[in-house]
Amino acid sequence: MNIGAKILFIAYFAVHLTDVALSGKYQTIILDGPKALSDDIKDTKIVLRIEGKGALDLLPPSDTGGIVCADVLMLIDISCSISNKDKQRVRNISALVAHSLLTSVYPEDPTSFNLARIGVLTYSEKTRHVLYLNNSKSSEEIDKIIRNVEIRKSKQSLCRTSTHRALSDARTFFFKSKQNNKQIINLFTDGLTFLRRNRKALYREQRKLREMGVIINVIQVRHRKGKYEENEYINLPHTQNHLFESKDKNITSQLIDRLIEDASCANLKA
């Protein structure tokens, strides 16, 4: 390819890539050289991996062939023991999973979309109710809200991991009573609740949620110094099949598969 052709192709490429790059989602793109340009460019192809912040090796959910009837709360640990990079990754995972849940349809019934509801709660020392389950936001609005969740602590707040308070808020404000649809928490945490005395309250809240029928998926997020409390990863998930690694590049598909297993609309109607 001569220099002039290279310049033309790069210009075309930059213009057509803008929307995708700004989305912050991981995507693999095969970009064909525009046939309106010279013969030198016609057969040119570039394969790209687009990675937003915190999206390293993160794949979007695969086509699972099922939809979920559930209230799904994204419960996100933003304590200072987790790096900003890993917190950004958690935002991307949550956004991809939410988008998949809110845009899936039955092939035989195109009107069946949006049978899941999404809520978002973040926490460190204190909790923040970002989005309630009964919101009327579109999938695009929810995607934007999740991708812009504040992950830095305010100057006035401490930055300790208080998972017991987060679960208490989930029970009190998001899952007040038993619903017809399944109730599920995707808990993203480094598994190290601050102060041992708070762990009694942590497991007490977990038991109350279980008694209500709430399923907890725990997604392990790396602690800055590699610390974690193993008992939290053993006792908090609904089962050990509900324990995941945020660093897994297929984490979004794994979570969607788990949600379909636990809360498929087809199973609820059966």
Q: What is the pLDDT of residue 35?
A: 42
Look up the pTM and report it.
0.76
Asked if residue 132 lies in contact with residue 174, where contact means CB atoms within 8 angstroms, the answer is yes
Give the whole-angstrom CA distance, residue 53 versus residue 25: 9
CATH number of 70-269: 3.40.50.410
Contact 184, 259 (CB under 8 A): yes
Asked if residue 224 lies in contact with residue 159, where contact means CB atoms within 8 angstroms, the answer is no
**Hey, which bits of the chain come out as E strands?**
27-32, 45-50, 70-77, 117-123, 127-131, 182-189, 215-220, 243-245
Instruction: Kindly give the confidence (pLDDT) of every residue in the chain, 270 residues in length, as a single tens digit, with 9 standing for 90 and above.
Output: 555 544 444 444 444 443 333 333 334 333 344 444 444 434 443 333 333 455 556 777 765 557 889 999 999 999 988 999 999 999 999 999 999 999 876 656 655 566 899 999 999 989 999 999 988 999 999 999 999 999 987 666 667 888 999 999 999 999 986 666 899 999 999 887 776 778 889 999 999 999 999 999 999 999 888 766 677 888 899 999 999 999 999 999 999 999 999 998 877 655
13: three-class secondary structure by DSSP: helix
Question: Could you state, in order of their start, the residue ranges of all structural domains in the chain?
Answer: 3-50, 70-269
pLDDT for the residue numbered 233? 85
